[in-house]
Amino acid sequence: MSGRACKFWIVIGCGIALVSARASAEEGFDTEHIFGFMIGTDVGNVGEREFQTQTTGRFGKGGVAYRALEHEVEIEVVPLPNFRIEVGGAASLHDITGVRDIDDRRQLNFQGASLDLRYRLLDRERAPFGLTIAAELHGDRIDETSGAKGRMYGTDFTLAFDRELIPNFAIGALNLIYQPEWARFEIGGVSEKSSTIGAAFATLVRVRPDVLLGGEMRYFRQYEGIGLGEFAGQALFVGPTAYFQLSERSRLTMSWSMQAWGRPAGSGGNLDLVNFERHQARLVFGVNF
Protein backbone atom coordinates (compact mmCIF):
# COMPACT_ATOMS: atom_id res chain seq x y z
CA MET A 1 0.00 0.00 0.00
CA SER A 2 2.75 2.44 0.96
CA GLY A 3 4.48 2.08 -2.42
CA ARG A 4 1.32 2.80 -4.39
CA ALA A 5 0.42 5.68 -2.10
CA CYS A 6 3.87 7.24 -2.52
CA LYS A 7 3.66 6.98 -6.31
CA PHE A 8 0.21 8.59 -6.28
CA TRP A 9 1.31 11.54 -4.15
CA ILE A 10 4.47 11.97 -6.23
CA VAL A 11 2.25 12.34 -9.31
CA ILE A 12 0.11 14.87 -7.43
CA GLY A 13 3.19 16.84 -6.40
CA CYS A 14 4.59 16.90 -9.93
CA GLY A 15 1.25 18.05 -11.32
CA ILE A 16 1.06 20.88 -8.80
CA ALA A 17 4.65 21.92 -9.53
CA LEU A 18 3.92 22.17 -13.25
CA VAL A 19 0.80 24.29 -12.85
CA SER A 20 0.63 27.89 -11.74
CA ALA A 21 -1.02 28.25 -8.35
CA ARG A 22 -2.82 31.37 -9.53
CA ALA A 23 -6.14 29.83 -10.49
CA SER A 24 -8.67 32.19 -11.94
CA ALA A 25 -11.08 33.57 -9.35
CA GLU A 26 -13.86 32.79 -11.77
CA GLU A 27 -13.19 29.03 -11.57
CA GLY A 28 -14.28 28.37 -7.99
CA PHE A 29 -15.43 24.88 -6.96
CA ASP A 30 -18.68 23.03 -7.58
CA THR A 31 -18.46 20.09 -5.17
CA GLU A 32 -21.68 18.36 -6.21
CA HIS A 33 -19.93 15.68 -8.29
CA ILE A 34 -16.16 16.01 -7.82
CA PHE A 35 -15.78 13.28 -5.19
CA GLY A 36 -15.89 9.56 -5.93
CA PHE A 37 -17.35 7.71 -2.93
CA MET A 38 -18.27 10.86 -1.01
CA ILE A 39 -20.58 13.81 -1.60
CA GLY A 40 -20.02 17.57 -1.54
CA THR A 41 -22.41 20.20 -0.23
CA ASP A 42 -23.33 21.84 -3.55
CA VAL A 43 -26.67 20.73 -5.00
CA GLY A 44 -26.92 22.69 -8.26
CA ASN A 45 -28.97 25.66 -9.37
CA VAL A 46 -32.74 25.83 -9.62
CA GLY A 47 -33.95 24.35 -12.90
CA GLU A 48 -30.85 22.23 -13.54
CA ARG A 49 -31.36 18.73 -14.93
CA GLU A 50 -28.67 16.10 -15.24
CA PHE A 51 -28.33 12.57 -16.56
CA GLN A 52 -25.75 10.42 -14.80
CA THR A 53 -24.38 6.89 -14.99
CA GLN A 54 -22.47 5.43 -12.08
CA THR A 55 -20.56 2.14 -12.14
CA THR A 56 -19.25 0.72 -8.86
CA GLY A 57 -17.01 -2.33 -8.65
CA ARG A 58 -16.15 -4.34 -5.53
CA PHE A 59 -13.41 -6.95 -5.74
CA GLY A 60 -11.81 -9.49 -3.43
CA LYS A 61 -13.31 -11.29 -0.42
CA GLY A 62 -10.92 -14.21 -0.21
CA GLY A 63 -11.72 -17.48 -2.00
CA VAL A 64 -11.09 -18.06 -5.69
CA ALA A 65 -12.86 -15.03 -7.12
CA TYR A 66 -15.18 -12.24 -6.03
CA ARG A 67 -16.37 -9.59 -8.47
CA ALA A 68 -19.50 -7.46 -8.03
CA LEU A 69 -20.42 -4.66 -10.44
CA GLU A 70 -23.35 -2.28 -10.07
CA HIS A 71 -24.36 0.06 -12.88
CA GLU A 72 -26.86 2.78 -12.01
CA VAL A 73 -28.65 5.23 -14.31
CA GLU A 74 -29.88 8.41 -12.61
CA ILE A 75 -31.81 11.59 -13.34
CA GLU A 76 -31.18 14.66 -11.15
CA VAL A 77 -33.36 17.78 -10.89
CA VAL A 78 -33.21 20.90 -8.71
CA PRO A 79 -36.81 22.09 -8.22
CA LEU A 80 -36.15 24.52 -5.35
CA PRO A 81 -33.20 26.54 -4.05
CA ASN A 82 -30.75 24.34 -2.12
CA PHE A 83 -32.82 21.17 -2.73
CA ARG A 84 -31.94 18.36 -5.14
CA ILE A 85 -33.86 15.20 -6.09
CA GLU A 86 -32.33 12.19 -7.82
CA VAL A 87 -34.06 9.00 -8.96
CA GLY A 88 -32.25 5.97 -10.35
CA GLY A 89 -32.38 2.34 -11.33
CA ALA A 90 -29.55 -0.18 -11.11
CA ALA A 91 -28.43 -3.49 -12.62
CA SER A 92 -25.82 -5.74 -10.99
CA LEU A 93 -23.35 -8.38 -12.15
CA HIS A 94 -21.91 -10.98 -9.77
CA ASP A 95 -19.09 -13.46 -10.42
CA ILE A 96 -18.38 -15.36 -7.20
CA THR A 97 -16.42 -18.58 -6.72
CA GLY A 98 -15.18 -20.21 -3.53
CA VAL A 99 -15.98 -17.38 -1.10
CA ARG A 100 -16.80 -18.45 2.43
CA ASP A 101 -20.50 -18.15 3.41
CA ILE A 102 -21.49 -16.95 -0.10
CA ASP A 103 -22.92 -19.27 -2.78
CA ASP A 104 -21.08 -19.51 -6.08
CA ARG A 105 -22.94 -17.63 -8.81
CA ARG A 106 -22.45 -15.85 -12.10
CA GLN A 107 -25.43 -13.66 -12.95
CA LEU A 108 -26.69 -10.37 -14.35
CA ASN A 109 -29.90 -8.93 -12.87
CA PHE A 110 -31.96 -5.80 -12.48
CA GLN A 111 -31.11 -4.87 -8.90
CA GLY A 112 -33.47 -2.13 -7.78
CA ALA A 113 -34.35 1.56 -7.58
CA SER A 114 -33.27 4.50 -5.46
CA LEU A 115 -34.34 7.99 -4.42
CA ASP A 116 -31.72 10.51 -3.26
CA LEU A 117 -32.77 13.73 -1.50
CA ARG A 118 -30.30 16.49 -0.58
CA TYR A 119 -30.82 19.82 1.15
CA ARG A 120 -28.08 22.40 1.64
CA LEU A 121 -28.25 24.10 5.03
CA LEU A 122 -25.12 26.27 4.72
CA ASP A 123 -23.49 27.71 1.61
CA ARG A 124 -19.72 27.93 2.09
CA GLU A 125 -19.71 31.15 0.01
CA ARG A 126 -21.61 32.83 2.86
CA ALA A 127 -20.61 30.66 5.85
CA PRO A 128 -17.33 29.29 7.25
CA PHE A 129 -18.11 25.93 5.60
CA GLY A 130 -20.76 24.23 3.51
CA LEU A 131 -23.26 21.87 5.14
CA THR A 132 -25.72 19.51 3.42
CA ILE A 133 -27.92 16.70 4.71
CA ALA A 134 -28.68 13.78 2.37
CA ALA A 135 -30.88 10.70 2.51
CA GLU A 136 -30.70 8.02 -0.18
CA LEU A 137 -33.49 5.44 0.01
CA HIS A 138 -33.12 2.24 -1.98
CA GLY A 139 -35.18 -0.88 -2.53
CA ASP A 140 -33.51 -3.90 -4.13
CA ARG A 141 -34.38 -7.42 -5.24
CA ILE A 142 -30.74 -8.54 -5.35
CA ASP A 143 -28.32 -8.38 -2.42
CA GLU A 144 -25.39 -6.20 -3.51
CA THR A 145 -22.80 -8.36 -1.70
CA SER A 146 -23.89 -11.96 -2.26
CA GLY A 147 -26.15 -11.58 -5.31
CA ALA A 148 -28.88 -13.55 -3.52
CA LYS A 149 -32.52 -12.79 -4.38
CA GLY A 150 -34.90 -11.29 -1.86
CA ARG A 151 -36.18 -7.95 -0.66
CA MET A 152 -33.66 -5.41 0.58
CA TYR A 153 -34.39 -1.94 1.89
CA GLY A 154 -32.08 0.68 3.29
CA THR A 155 -31.30 4.35 3.71
CA ASP A 156 -27.95 6.10 3.54
CA PHE A 157 -27.97 9.19 5.77
CA THR A 158 -25.06 11.56 5.19
CA LEU A 159 -24.04 14.81 6.84
CA ALA A 160 -21.63 16.51 4.43
CA PHE A 161 -19.23 19.37 5.13
CA ASP A 162 -16.78 21.08 2.77
CA ARG A 163 -14.50 24.11 2.76
CA GLU A 164 -11.96 25.67 0.43
CA LEU A 165 -8.55 25.11 2.04
CA ILE A 166 -6.78 27.33 -0.51
CA PRO A 167 -9.16 29.58 -2.50
CA ASN A 168 -9.75 28.20 -6.02
CA PHE A 169 -6.96 25.66 -5.57
CA ALA A 170 -7.65 23.12 -2.80
CA ILE A 171 -10.94 21.85 -1.34
CA GLY A 172 -11.54 19.55 1.64
CA ALA A 173 -14.66 17.56 2.54
CA LEU A 174 -15.94 15.52 5.49
CA ASN A 175 -18.85 13.04 5.43
CA LEU A 176 -20.50 11.48 8.48
CA ILE A 177 -22.51 8.39 7.52
CA TYR A 178 -25.23 6.15 8.99
CA GLN A 179 -26.64 3.28 6.91
CA PRO A 180 -29.42 1.06 8.35
CA GLU A 181 -30.45 -1.90 6.16
CA TRP A 182 -33.03 -4.69 6.27
CA ALA A 183 -33.11 -7.81 4.08
CA ARG A 184 -35.31 -10.87 3.66
CA PHE A 185 -33.95 -13.58 1.36
CA GLU A 186 -36.06 -15.85 -0.84
CA ILE A 187 -34.19 -19.03 0.07
CA GLY A 188 -35.15 -20.04 3.59
CA GLY A 189 -36.98 -16.79 4.26
CA VAL A 190 -34.06 -15.62 6.39
CA SER A 191 -34.20 -12.00 7.59
CA GLU A 192 -31.20 -9.86 8.43
CA LYS A 193 -30.82 -6.38 9.87
CA SER A 194 -27.59 -4.43 9.89
CA SER A 195 -26.26 -0.91 10.25
CA THR A 196 -23.04 0.86 9.35
CA ILE A 197 -21.58 4.10 10.64
CA GLY A 198 -18.61 5.84 9.10
CA ALA A 199 -16.56 8.96 8.56
CA ALA A 200 -14.84 9.97 5.33
CA PHE A 201 -12.39 12.72 4.46
CA ALA A 202 -11.22 13.93 1.06
CA THR A 203 -8.92 16.58 -0.37
CA LEU A 204 -8.72 17.64 -4.02
CA VAL A 205 -6.43 20.18 -5.71
CA ARG A 206 -6.84 21.90 -9.06
CA VAL A 207 -3.94 20.91 -11.32
CA ARG A 208 -5.59 22.40 -14.42
CA PRO A 209 -8.69 24.57 -14.81
CA ASP A 210 -10.68 21.46 -15.78
CA VAL A 211 -8.85 18.76 -13.77
CA LEU A 212 -8.88 18.00 -10.03
CA LEU A 213 -6.75 15.32 -8.35
CA GLY A 214 -6.72 14.12 -4.76
CA GLY A 215 -7.63 11.28 -2.45
CA GLU A 216 -10.29 9.93 -0.12
CA MET A 217 -10.00 8.13 3.21
CA ARG A 218 -13.07 6.32 4.62
CA TYR A 219 -13.55 4.43 7.90
CA PHE A 220 -16.57 2.16 8.55
CA ARG A 221 -17.91 0.14 11.49
CA GLN A 222 -20.64 -2.44 10.86
CA TYR A 223 -23.13 -3.75 13.40
CA GLU A 224 -25.92 -6.31 13.58
CA GLY A 225 -29.35 -4.69 13.88
CA ILE A 226 -30.38 -1.28 12.54
CA GLY A 227 -29.76 0.35 15.93
CA LEU A 228 -26.00 -0.32 16.10
CA GLY A 229 -26.36 -3.57 18.02
CA GLU A 230 -23.60 -6.18 18.19
CA PHE A 231 -20.31 -5.11 16.59
CA ALA A 232 -19.53 -7.07 13.38
CA GLY A 233 -16.39 -5.52 11.89
CA GLN A 234 -14.51 -2.44 10.76
CA ALA A 235 -12.40 -1.29 7.82
CA LEU A 236 -10.36 1.68 6.59
CA PHE A 237 -10.28 2.46 2.85
CA VAL A 238 -7.84 4.83 1.12
CA GLY A 239 -7.28 5.72 -2.51
CA PRO A 240 -7.03 8.38 -5.23
CA THR A 241 -9.79 10.39 -6.93
CA ALA A 242 -9.69 12.30 -10.21
CA TYR A 243 -12.30 14.69 -11.65
CA PHE A 244 -12.39 15.88 -15.27
CA GLN A 245 -14.64 18.61 -16.67
CA LEU A 246 -14.92 17.20 -20.19
CA SER A 247 -16.95 20.08 -21.59
CA GLU A 248 -19.30 22.80 -20.43
CA ARG A 249 -22.03 20.20 -19.95
CA SER A 250 -20.24 16.88 -19.31
CA ARG A 251 -17.98 15.53 -16.55
CA LEU A 252 -16.18 12.37 -15.44
CA THR A 253 -15.14 11.23 -11.95
CA MET A 254 -12.88 8.24 -11.27
CA SER A 255 -12.07 6.84 -7.84
CA TRP A 256 -10.38 3.74 -6.47
CA SER A 257 -10.04 2.56 -2.85
CA MET A 258 -8.27 -0.34 -1.20
CA GLN A 259 -8.84 -1.69 2.28
CA ALA A 260 -5.73 -0.53 4.10
CA TRP A 261 -6.76 -2.01 7.44
CA GLY A 262 -9.69 -3.91 8.89
CA ARG A 263 -10.78 -6.45 11.45
CA PRO A 264 -13.95 -8.56 11.76
CA ALA A 265 -15.40 -9.10 15.23
CA GLY A 266 -13.70 -11.90 17.13
CA SER A 267 -10.89 -12.34 14.63
CA GLY A 268 -7.35 -11.17 14.15
CA GLY A 269 -5.62 -10.15 10.95
CA ASN A 270 -5.21 -6.85 9.17
CA LEU A 271 -8.26 -6.95 6.83
CA ASP A 272 -12.00 -7.52 7.22
CA LEU A 273 -13.05 -9.48 4.13
CA VAL A 274 -16.19 -10.80 5.85
CA ASN A 275 -18.08 -7.49 5.94
CA PHE A 276 -16.13 -5.49 3.34
CA GLU A 277 -14.19 -5.96 0.09
CA ARG A 278 -10.48 -5.65 -0.54
CA HIS A 279 -10.87 -3.15 -3.43
CA GLN A 280 -13.58 -0.73 -4.53
CA ALA A 281 -13.69 1.37 -7.70
CA ARG A 282 -16.17 3.90 -9.08
CA LEU A 283 -16.65 5.63 -12.45
CA VAL A 284 -19.23 8.41 -12.79
CA PHE A 285 -20.21 10.18 -16.00
CA GLY A 286 -22.72 13.01 -16.08
CA VAL A 287 -24.18 15.47 -18.56
CA ASN A 288 -26.52 18.47 -18.22
CA PHE A 289 -29.53 18.57 -20.52
Give 242-264 pLDDT, tens digit per residue: 999 999 999 999 999 999 999 99
Task: Find out whether 158 and 121 touch, Cβ atoms under 8 Å.
Answer: no
pLDDT of amino acid 12: 47
Closest by CA to 115, choosing from 98, 101, 134, is 134
117: left (phi > 0), else alpha (psi -120 to 50), else beta? beta
Q: Residue 17: its pLDDT value, please?
A: 41
3-state secondary structure of 22: coil
Compute the average pLDDT of residues 143-166: 97
Average per-residue pLDDT in the chain?
92
Q: What is the pLDDT of residues 104-152, one digit of tens each?
A: 999 999 999 999 999 999 999 999 999 999 999 999 999 999 999 999 9
User: 12-33 pLDDT, tens per residue?
Assistant: 454 444 433 333 334 689 999 9
Q: If you average pLDDT over residues 86-93, what whole number do you get?
A: 98
What was the pLDDT predicted at 7?
52
Cα distances from 81 to residues 48, 49, 78, 153, in angstroms, run: 11, 14, 7, 29
Q: How far, in Å, CA of 183 to CA of 139, rounded?
A: 10
For the residues of 156-185, what is the DSSP string, one character each?
Answer: EEEEEEEEEEETTTEEEEEEEEEEEEEEEE
Instruction: Give the type of residue at 242.
Output: A
What are the pLDDT digits (tens) for 27-82? 689 999 999 999 999 999 999 999 999 999 999 998 899 999 999 999 999 999 99
Per-residue pLDDT reduced to its tens digit, 187-227:
888 999 999 999 999 999 999 999 999 999 999 999 999 99
